[in-house]
Amino acid sequence: MLRILGRLSSVNVQKVVWCADEIGMPYERVDVGGKFGGNDTPEYLAKNPNGLVPTIEDDGFVLYESNAIVRYLAARHAAGTLWPEDVRRRADIDRWMEWQSTAYTPAMWGAFWQLVRTPPEKRDAALVESSRAKSEKLSGILDAHLASRRFITGEEFTPADIVVGCAAHRWLNLPLGRESRPNLERWYAQMKARPRSRQVTHQPLS
């Protein structure tokens, strides 16, 4: 059975859990990282020398890097549905997955860390503001993109919706002022209404 090593408060673990839930596959998730620790042991580092979560074990196959894991699970267990055959459709999914991991989540990291994981008296307001501004710009790009699409890459739900959905869950639940983004908010409501997204989209930020 699939084992997912990683605490659920990690946005990168959330992607993997949501993906496995969408596929409907059984798995065991083990709390590793953050307050649970366990990611600096020789045993864990042998699986993932970065000491980060998530890592998966699937019938003896070990893999880390959350977006690679999501692609692997979708390709292995949901080929033709969650993971399309068409190379250009896959490239479009890949593009948005890259955008999430290299742009959107890094942009909101400062605001998230300050507002959710730092006590009020220790917060850096300038860091929150620069993170907010970068995230707003990218949210505007996503909002405009979603104006003519039901899902991120068109009419079908794909792994792009999962990983960008995890990032959007953070952005739209941060305790700060945001510009109105009707298309992004409509799409996020769709994500939240998916029964198999609940472990992510119904979880408070922590």
CB 122 to ligand GSH: min, Å: 20
52 binds ligand GSH (CB under 6 A): yes
Tell me the window of 50-58, 72-80, 88-96, 123-131 that interacts with ligand GSH (CB under 6 A): 50-58
CA 42/CA 113 separation, integer angstroms: 28
Tell me the window of 4-12, 166-174, 187-195, 198-206 that interacts with ligand GSH (CB under 6 A): 4-12
Of 29 and 181, the one with the shorter C-beta distance to ligand GSH is 29
Locate 179 and state its tokens. 């510009």
197 binds ligand GSH (CB under 6 A): no
110 binds ligand GSH (CB under 6 A): no
- Residue 76, phi then psi, degrees to nearest 5: -80, -40
Of 135 and 143, the one with the shorter C-beta distance to ligand GSH is 135
CB 38 to ligand GSH: min, Å: 9
Single-letter code of the amino acid located at 69: I
User: Considering only residues 2, 4, 5, 11, which one is a binding residue for ligand GSH as defined by CB under 6 A?
Assistant: 11
The per-residue DSSP string of the chain comes to -EEEES-TTSHHHHHHHHHHHHHT--EEEE--SGGG--SSSHHHHHH-TT--S-EEEETTEEEESHHHHHHHHHHHHSBTTTB-S-HHHHHHHHHHHHHIIIIIHHHHHHHHHHHHHS-GGG--HHHHHHHHHHHHHHHHHHHHHHTT-SBTTBSS--HHHHHHHHHHHHHHHSSS-----HHHHHHHHHHHH-GGGHHHHTSPP-
Tell me the window of 64-72, 81-89, 155-163, 191-199 that interacts with ligand GSH (CB under 6 A): 64-72
User: Considering only residues 8, 25, 57, 65, which one is a binding residue for ligand GSH as defined by CB under 6 A?
Assistant: 65
Cβ atoms within 10 Å of 179's Cβ, excluding its own: 9
Q: Which residue is nearest to ligand GSH (CB)?
A: 33
Tell me the window of 18-26, 62-70, 136-144, 166-174 that interacts with ligand GSH (CB under 6 A): 62-70
Within residues 15-44, the interface with ligand GSH by CB under 6 A covers: 33-34, 39
- Contacting residues toward ligand GSH, per CB under 6 A: 10-12, 33-34, 39, 52-54, 65-67
